[in-house]
Chains A and B, each alone.
Chain A
Amino acid sequence: MITVPPVNWPALLPYLVIGGGGLVVMLVDAFVRTLRKDHLTALTGLVFLGAAIAMIAVKPEPGPQLGGMLTVQMYTRFFDFLLLGIGLVTTVYGSAVYSQDGDYRPEFYPLVLFAVLGMMVLVAASDLLILFLGIETMSLAVYALVCGRRGELRSSEAALKYLLLGSFASAFLLMGAALLYGCAGGTSYAALAAVGGTGEGGPLFAVGLGLVLVGFAFKVAMVPFHMWTPDVYDGAPAHVTGFMATAVKAAAFGALIRFVTIALPGLAAHWSGLLTVLTVLTMTAGNLLALVQASIKRMLAYSSIAHAGYLLLGVLAILAPAGGDPGRPLRESAVVQAAGSGLLFYLLGYCLMNLAAFGVISQLGRSGGVEADQVDHYRGLSGRQPVAAAVLAVAMFSLAGIPGTVGFLGKFYLFEAAIRAQLVPLAIWGVVNSLLSVYYYLRVVVVMYMSDDQTEPFDGRNWETILLAGCLAALVVLLGVFPAAVHGLTSLAFGTMLG
């Protein structure tokens, strides 16, 4: 006899708003004949705002929901707001692109909403089943988004590739979850922590963990599970690429951080050796491959891999003290606190700078869906569109980690935590890597400011997109100069997760 756990409606309200909103948007599009596409954009925006208002206005007791399937706390709320913001920005970018193309893609709007719903669930998951549910909801929506330009071969190829490889990754994750269930007798994080803490898991438990890790590694694009990233980022329309580079990555990291800290604090030793190797590989390969790209979208794809490497450094810093002293609860360690809040800060900054960059990229295309996807297409941009060029330049400097931008402070927080966690060689390697990255980010600035105009310039313009990207770039600088308030917030958010 299955007992239905009590449902705490206020806590679930944001999820319901987003999910219900998605359905409404889809139905409105299908049945309201007199619709203009602006209406759908506005409606989608309203859904996002409604969800945000629901989170601000209704404050449920933080804690486990639906019998421990989901956890709602400040940590998940931090990610919810971030994801809603990214969703909103993507909606605006997307509708600008579609009006520029003269192409109408109504399915885009509900898909973004469903993807965001999946991501929010993914971050809040406290059970492997919900984790899987979140990942799949997110992924199915994103597979379809990648295929945003149906007529174009590249876009379809990217979608197919992503779908096939993503399915494999999901299968790995599911297999791992099954093995863990077999060992732990339950799928909740708490059950895993109970078995993991005693060290009685045995080899099957370790294999299960490894398979779950593969699932995560695919979503955050860790080397060697990164092969899909450049092709998919390149093939998808630029605003979707921006969505993938930011929201998908943020959500996957949000879930990964929760998973390792809640479910596996006692098993750091099993994870950290393997994770160290993956971290080094991810950073290095991402940066080296980004160096030789001629396409700006591929370059940013590899750069996002490199950034995943820096973020993994933070995850390692969380695991390191637990490895030294398995009995000690994580929340008592200052290093864990520093690494965790640094990770959240970095993720926030990373999303801001990437969204700013992809905004400029998405608006510059020509009508008919031709994108300015090569670095060379940006020649002399500063003369034609000074604001767009400045925004992209700020984003590039921030990605490169130049002081005065949020990218620098994010790295500062992460590397500082890594050094405190005794990961000095890794931190040095990270610093060397960010030096390497300067070269390819700088190249974009070089072509924009120092090269002459090309003969047939890309000159798409959309003031909404530029305004939004400009605000994001301003935030990049603002947070790079005054980080204290936001860092305090991320610190608090991470603290609530540790309990």
Chain B
Amino acid sequence: MALVSDHILSLVTFLPLAGALVILLCLARRPTAAGWLACGVALADLGLAVLLWLGYDPVPGTDQFVERAAWFLGGRVQYHLACDGISLVLVLLTALLGPLVILSTKSSLSQRVPLFMAMALFLQTAMIGTFLARDMLLFYVFWELMLIPMYFLIGIWGGPRRIYAAVKFFIFTMAGSVFMLVAILYCWFKAGTMDLGAWLALDLTPTEQLWLFAAFALAFAIKVPIWPLHTWLPDAHVEAPTAGSVILAGVLLKMGTYGLLRYAMPLFPAAAVTAAPVLAVLGVIGIVFGALVAWVQTDVKKLVAYSSVSHLGFVVLGLFSLTAQGATGGVFQMLAHGLSTGGLFLLVGILYERRHTRELADFGGLAHGMPAYASVFLITTLASIGLPGLCGFVGEFLILLGTFGSSQLPHAKLLVAVAATGVILGAIYMLWMYQKVFLGPLGSKKNQGLPDLALREWFVLVPLVVFMVWLGVGPNLVLAKVGPSVERVLEPLTAPGLVLPHGDPRPAPLWAVPAVLGGGGEVAP
């Protein structure tokens, strides 16, 4: 057992990769066996993630289960994994979606199943590794490795324009990361090590910070995606197979917001404070823009894709409210969005398997024939909208609350007001979509006699629904684990005496300023 407890992070990271290799080497011609093995491996990985959850001590919010070993360049580049509250919930989300995704593809996938399973597992390793890495080069390696399996998932098993979508996805993300790599090299040159802890202690001038922050933020903003860098997302989502969309929306998009919170903000605090208004505004634009564009979509999958732009706008706003409350809400929203949007893509996939269309106009009255499906869809829709009692509400509420009380963000209240319209718009387009698909009379003959949820589909959807309700009713379960870590991560930004690029040392701890001032930019000394 000591082996498991000492190396649990390595195990949870590399178990899927081992499964992928076994599939490629031994089961390349046996699709059924490959599917079951992949499922088993993903479940075992989920088990490890649960162990991690149980063993994590939330109170200090520090990095735990640390694993460190020299990698190369005389130990200046390390193999360094660690887990704090933020990483914990995201790893758990990844590990939860893994088996569901694999289970969900069993019927829809006909060709090259073993390769698909191997890619899904490989992707899981890369994603979990990205969340756990505490060495910048290790992080970058995992970060880039995510591209390869996702590129294959879209490009091989995707829709008619899959190649265009896959290449666009690859190039967009790569373009961002390349500048991050230059920034990483620069910091490496300054620090002489790739260790995140040492980087946090780096003394960078405000100008340096601005450039480095810009390079990091660009890479992450493309991944989120923050408006106006979102154009790859609808293409990728629409062309990706269901499994690809679920992973993309469920986990991959969180890489961007996770990276902002973990790296871009604490490493370059002065620049983050300076840039916060800009990014918060971009977040709000994303919220409203995503919602408006989602509203006019005629393709269900595209609608859900644009709703992601809107939901992640909330996360960005929460992070750049520069309050612990807003950022904690942001992390919660990442989790909630992973569950609800992941669920929506799964549901859309189920419908597409039955009808081979996703056009809103082709549907209507499905609730008559598929009551169970319609109910699950309704719960997921409501969770996505943010109905109180379901997971989506908590995150959005905390974000808005945190932003409202933010003393550093100019015009915070205005931003909250505009962002709140996003909540209303969200309700409009989602319910409108629900109405078109499920309510009214059964329109076309083709919609009659569609089978309701099968047993396997129940297995996939029930865990998601359970968590959507559970997190909505008892959010403290997650908030207690995330909160302390978020505060720790944001410490550099709230430190008194932070020198901003325009030169003024910050006068007093920010929370001392009455929130009523709100205007933020000009705080009284």
| A and B interact physically | yes
Name A's B-contacting residues (CB within 8 A): 382-383, 386, 397, 402-404, 408-409, 412, 415-416, 419-420, 424, 427-428, 431-432, 434-435, 438-439, 442, 446, 449-451, 482-484, 487
User: A435 and B72: CB pair below 8 A?
Assistant: no
Given the known inter-chain contacts A446-B163, A450-B163, please indicate yes or no for A403 contacting B140, CB distance below 8 A: yes
Tell me, rounded to whole Å, the shortest Cβ–Cβ distance linking B12 to chain A: 19
B508 interface residue per 8 A CB criterion: no
Contact of A419 among B70, B137, B145, B185 (CB under 8 A): B185
Residue of B nearest to A420 (CB): B189
The reply to whether A449 and B148 form a contact with Cβ atoms under 8 Å apart is no
Taking A386-B28, A446-B167, A450-B156 as known contacts, 14 extra A-B pairs with beta carbons closer than 8 A to each other, sorted by chain A number, are A383-B112, A402-B148, A403-B144, A416-B189, A420-B189, A435-B175, A439-B171, A442-B167, A446-B155, A450-B162, A451-B163, A482-B72, A484-B70, A484-B73
Q: What residue of chain B has the Cβ atom nearest to residue A424's Cβ? A: B186
Question: Are A442 and B170 in contact (CB-based, < 8 A)?
Answer: yes
Asked whether, in the complex, the Cβ of B71 is within 8 Å of the Cβ of A403, the reply is: no
Interface of A is mostly: helix
Report B-chain residues with C-beta under 8 Å of the C-beta of A420: 189
State the CA gap A469–B174 with chains docked (Å). Answer: 28
Neighbouring B residues of A409 by C-beta, 8 Å: 72
Min distance, Cβ A61 to any Cβ of chain B, angstroms = 30
Tell me if B65 counts as interface (CB < 8 A to partner A).
Answer: no
Q: Does B33 contact A (CB under 8 A)?
A: no
Contact B141 A487 (CB under 8 A): no
Closest 4 CB pairs of A and B: A403-B141, A484-B72, A450-B155, A403-B144
Question: By the criterion CB–CB under 8 Å, are A449 and B155 in contact?
Answer: yes
B214 to chain A, nearest CB (A): 13
Alpha-carbon gap, A3 to B525, bound state (A): 87
A427 to B181: give the CA distance in the assembly, Å: 11
Within 8 A of A (CB), among B172-212: 174-175, 178-179, 181-182, 185-186, 188-189
Cα A484 to Cα B70 in complex, Å, equals 9
The number of chain B residues with a CB under 8 A from chain A is 36
B166 and A432 form a contact (CB under 8 A): no
B77 CB, min distance to chain A CBs, angstroms: 9
Q: Are A450 and B185 in contact (CB under 8 A)?
A: no
From 98 to 122 in chain B, residues with beta carbon under 8 angstroms from any chain A beta carbon are 112, 115
Min Cβ gap A200→B in Å is: 37
B152 to chain A, nearest CB (A): 6
A438 and B171: CB pair below 8 A? yes
**The residue from A402, A427, A484 contacting B185, defined by CB atoms under 8 A apart:** A427
Pick 18 A–B contacts, CB within 8 A, sort by A: A383-B112, A386-B28, A403-B142, A408-B144, A416-B189, A420-B189, A431-B179, A432-B178, A438-B171, A439-B167, A442-B167, A442-B170, A446-B166, A449-B152, A449-B156, A450-B162, A450-B163, A487-B72
Distance in angstroms from A206 CB to nearest chain B CB is 33
Q: How far is the CA of A214 from the CA of B363 in the complex (A)?
A: 71
B147 at interface, CB cutoff 8 A: yes
Instruction: Give complex CA distance A180, B16 in Å.
Output: 61
- Within 8 Å CB of B182, what residues of A? 427-428, 431
Q: Complex Cα distance A181/B167, Å? A: 55
* A487 near B73: Cβ-Cβ < 8 Å: yes
Contacts of B189 in A (CB 8 A): 416, 419-420
Contacts A404-B141, A420-B189, A427-B182 given; indicate if A483 touches B72 (C-beta within 8 A).
yes
* In the complex, per-residue mask of B411-441: 1 if CB is within 8 Å of any chain A CB, else 0: 0000000000000000000000000000000
CA distance A416 to B182 in the complex (A): 9
Inside 8 A of A415's CB, which chain B residues have their CB? 185
What is the CB-to-nearest-CB distance from A397 to chain B, in angstroms, rounded to a whole number? 7
In the complex, A404→B70 CA distance in Å? 17
The interface residues of chain A lying within 8 Å CB-to-CB of B73 are 484, 487
CB distance from B171 to the nearest CB of A (A): 6
Q: How far is the CB of A204 from the nearest CB of chain B, in Å? A: 40
> Who on chain A is nearest to B29 by CB?
A386
Chain B residues lying within 8 Å of A402, measured Cβ to Cβ, are 144-145, 147-148
A415 to B145, CA, bound (A): 20
Query: Is the CB–CB distance between B71 and A435 below 8 Å?
Result: no
A354 to B142, CA, bound (A): 24
Chain B residue at minimal CB-CB distance from A397: B148
> In the complex, how many angstroms separate the beta carbon of B179 from the nearest chain A beta carbon?
8
Q: Nearest Cβ in chain B — how far from A415, in angstroms?
A: 6
Closest residue on chain A to residue B140 by CB atoms: A403
Closest beta carbon of chain B to A492's beta carbon, Å: 13
For the complex formed, measure the closest distance between the CB of B311 and the CB atoms of chain A, giving whole angstroms. 29
Among candidates B71, B163, B170, B178, residue contacting A484 with C-beta atoms closer than 8 Å: B71
Partner of A404, one of B112, B145, B163, B186: B145
A431 to B73, CA, bound (A): 21
Partner of B181, one of A404, A431, A438: A431
Contact A416 B156 (CB under 8 A): no
Q: How far is it, in angstroms, between the C-alpha of A453 and the C-alpha of B398 when the chains are bound? A: 53
Q: Say how far B71's CB is from chain A's closest CB, in angstroms.
A: 7
Nearest CB of A to B222, in Å:
13
Measured between alpha carbons, how far is A450 from B240 in the docked complex, in Å?
A: 13
Q: Give the shortest distance, in Å, between B303 (CB) and chain A (any CB).
A: 26
Q: Across the two chains, which residue of chain A brings its CB closest to B137?
A: A412
Q: Considering the chains assembled together, what is the distance between the CA atoms of A435 and B175 in angstroms?
A: 7
Report B521 CB to chain A, min CB distance, Å.
33
* B178 in complex: contacting residue of A404, A435, A442, CB < 8 Å: A435
Question: In whole Å, how far is A346's beta carbon from the nearest beta carbon of chain B?
Answer: 14
B178 lies within 8 A of A431 (CB):
yes
Measured CB to CB, the nearest residue on chain B to A430 is B182
